[in-house]
Structure 1
């Protein structure tokens, strides 16, 4: 596609997103450039790594939805950093503008902030009104958040904060790797607060936006308006707070903002990719305040949670995907939820464009650049129980339960047999895994299935099918 046509298509996509996103979102999206469009992929260029990560974390699903609406088919959206060499040495910000040498308001804003004096000048933000949800993503709610062992505590704590803002766990500090759900939980808190308390003022911003607004206040002499915005709200959510490290004037201003809100029993919610004690070049007075309330981490999701995330994605996007395909994808992408969901979108788009059925062979083909050399995961009991539960159309909890009905007990015995046969796990560990059972129960299950398969061709076929699915994973 010619560049002129590509620009026109991208303009339509941006217009489509304006129906759902607040105007401030386009401070990030307008600088994006369309690079290429193929049958299954749209490649977009960002100005730096910070922009790439922020857009991927906050707007990728909106872009994908808009692409599908404009072009008619789902496409994989790839984000690429443009002209990294030309921006080397600059601080991560979409546009670099020289700050004026104005004298700041007393005690808070300092223009001599080094690299901070070179930051994007964003459109002047509005003062937050009660019930204003323009900074929040309405798609990110507690109902759409998939919970599991890796995030149960953070999810429960976030709900407690949302139900009693300013009274429970203040400040609330979440940390974890990229793409694990921190941003989703932050928006979920904000959305729930406004649902329960429409009279409250809730503001969600990134640390970069916070910094850029400070620079703008310095340049335009509007520090009073800046303080009026940030110190007269009920719930402040700042994402990726680690990026204020080393920024003197940003930390100074946030220190006073934090104190004002905390003293007024207003809720402060922060997210980071690491705990407060590990954020380098963070002032000690801020570090200690971040640890005053509750600090919780979000781990990479386990296999069961990853499969649940894929099922949730498939349901919300009306994808028809077999369970064994979900297991296949989830067993190979184990650290990043956005990458996990992106892989599913890519598979469905690939199947649609090639007019083929979604199966594990197609997945291997569609994701060959993600899974080079056909690298397989080690067979684990988690994988075995997922395959068995999917095959017999029962819940994983049933395999762990005390239920003894044949439609549950026999699949459980088969799962135990496969765990004994395909892994190096000890008998006591297998028993513990299946609801805290004794190792003698595992021995009985193994012996029964081993004996039955010699005379039951149907069972032998089931075992062969299950082993084949497990080995494909």
Structure 2
């Protein structure tokens, strides 16, 4: 049959956006293109192998459903990516978690490890390892290494819990700020010079702060430069489960070849090695062999090496040989940038006031911010109108803002301040910078921030179209004066009492 025409393809994307908005990304429109529709099979071309693998594993059913809705035929979607060379260029990524994080550890895992039979000797049995010892030349990542010594394949399946690299988790989509600058810079350096920049790279921090994003970004960046790179990206739980299974099945040679003959080993949530003596022993020798061969190791954890309980000292020491970098909670400005970036990635337009509201109300991590964006998308689909602050508050689970008894409004604040300082509202909203006007304007912004639920942008907009940074500066100035000027707190107290009388909070 002929090429799937552009009009039909646009309709497929429209159906996807209407029925499956949470999975839709801007790169669907930018990078995907239709191919042949032949024998009931619609080929969809992707720009990269990572996109192909992600879509095939995560989005096949929605695309098939959309194609059937548009054509009225029982067709199936298939994603294809042209190889970059005559050789197989599919990224050699192995993994063992469906979402980049370790699955829940089964209760009997510790018991299984405790009852394991003895493992065959390691090729590196020495307990001591000297980092300064001579090492071979760094491997050439753009060349496929020989696998002649590999045990026969097919006897043990290491891919039964395959993990998918998400195209969302690239360096281009990572928002760098004061909370993660070192980790980001180190990850970029490792991607540019694997095995030589920082080895190992150990990234630690709380949930949803970007550790997995950086790990996947490293993998994707290296694969973009060198598609034949042998990368093994697994969760720590998968490492332990496979280790136990291979010991029980007598397949330790295969296990060791699988983990020790790679260019890059990336393990998420390495802290799960705690209290796993046999797994720690095996990982110790795996680490040594890779490190001695100048092969890059990247690890993530919820705690720095020395704070992981019951982790052997020799592993703590090795984890600190390269660089230990932390990621922490993002600042307000970084959260604003994250919300804008994630909304743009979804092709979802948000007013600045809504962006700031989300950034204010979801302070913990990027995962909460993304959840808020998904909730906004769902709310917009239900109400079928542009997103505004009222819809945003509803999506965030907040009560609608409406004047109620004893509720402070901006008008209450303006009335109290203008009377106290003998200024006009037009002065407060003007661009004039006289001290007699700047001071009451700053106090109004401070009181509005303390007594109302309006966003920083809403407050700034009311007082002459000023941006959120001006409001934040005003709040800081007033808070500093409250702490350092003895005569200033009584003024604020008097204003608050007047506002309370106006709202009926006091009689």
Q: TM-score if structure 1 supplies the norm length?
A: 0.57
Residue 310 of structure 2 is aligned to residue 281 of structure 1: yes
Other-structure match for 1:257: 286
Matches within 5 A, 1:16-95: 90=107
Correspondent of 1:315 among 344, 358, 370: 344
SS in 2 for 1:331: helix
Q: Secondary structure of the residue that 1:175 maps to in structure 2?
A: strand
CA contact (8 A) 1:235 1:267 kept: yes
Question: 1:45-194 to 2 correspondence within 5 Å?
Answer: 90=107, 102-106=117-121, 124-125=157-158, 136-194=165-223
Aligned-residue Cα RMSD (Å) equals 4.5
> Larger radius of gyration, structure 1 or 2?
2
Indicate how the Cα distance of structure 1 residues 69 and 367 shifts in structure 2: closer, same or farther if over 3 A, else same.
farther
Matching of residues 272-421 of structure 1 within 5 Å: 272-368=301-397, 379=449, 387=457, 416=470, 419-420=473-474
2:236 is the alignment partner of 1:219:
no
1:412-433 C-alpha deviation (Å, 9 max, x unpaired):
7996577336863437x9xxxx
How far does residue 234 in structure 1 lie from its aligned partner after superposition? 1.1
Q: Conserved in 1, the CA contact under 8 Å of 2:353 and 2:458? A: no
Question: In structure 2, the residue corresponding to 1:344 is in which secondary structure?
Answer: helix
Runs of 4+ in 1 over 4 A off after TM superposition: 60-72, 96-103, 377-380, 383-386, 388-392, 410-418
CA distance in 2, matches of 1:415, 1:138: 33
Q: Tell me if structure 2 keeps the 8 A contact 1:388–1:415.
A: no
1:386 to partner: Cα distance: 6.6
Structure-2 separation of matches of 1:249 and 1:231: 17
C-alpha contact (below 8 Å) 2:393/2:399 kept by paired residues: no
Tell me how far 1:61 sits from its aligned partner: 11
Q: How many residues are treated as equivalent by the alignment?
A: 317
Which deviates more from structure 2 when the two are superposed, residues 145-154 or residues 182-191?
145-154
- Cα distance, 1:124 vs. partner? 1.3
Structure-1 separation of matches of 2:117 and 2:475: 73
> Shift of the alpha carbon at 1:357?
3.5
Aligned in 2, Cα 1:388/1:179: closer, same or farther, shift over 3 Å?
Answer: same
Q: Secondary structure at the match of 1:203?
A: strand
Query: Residues 150 and 299 of structure 1 are in contact (CA less than 8 Å); yes or no, is this contact kept in structure 2?
Result: yes
1:203 aligns with 2:236: no
The CA distance in 2 between the partners of 1:352 and 1:171, in whole Å, is: 45
Structure 2 segments unaligned to the other structure (5+ residues): 1-19, 25-53, 67-103, 124-154, 401-445, 484-507
1:176–1:299: 8 Å Cα contact kept in structure 2?
yes
Deviations for 1:251-285, whole angstroms, at most 9, x for unmatched residues? 01000000001111111100001111110011111
Q: Aligned in 2, Cα 1:331/1:71: closer, same or farther, shift over 3 Å?
A: farther
Q: How far apart in 1 are the matches of 2:265 and 2:322? A: 15
Is 2:274 the counterpart of 1:245?
A: yes
What do residues 122-180 of structure 1 show as CA deviations (whole Å, max 9, x unaligned)? 971169xxxxx976333321111111121122111110011111111111000010001
For residue 478 of structure 2, give the secondary structure of its aligned residue in structure 1.
coil
- For structure 1, the 5+ residue unaligned runs are 1-12, 18-59, 73-86, 109-121, 128-132, 372-376, 393-409, 430-473
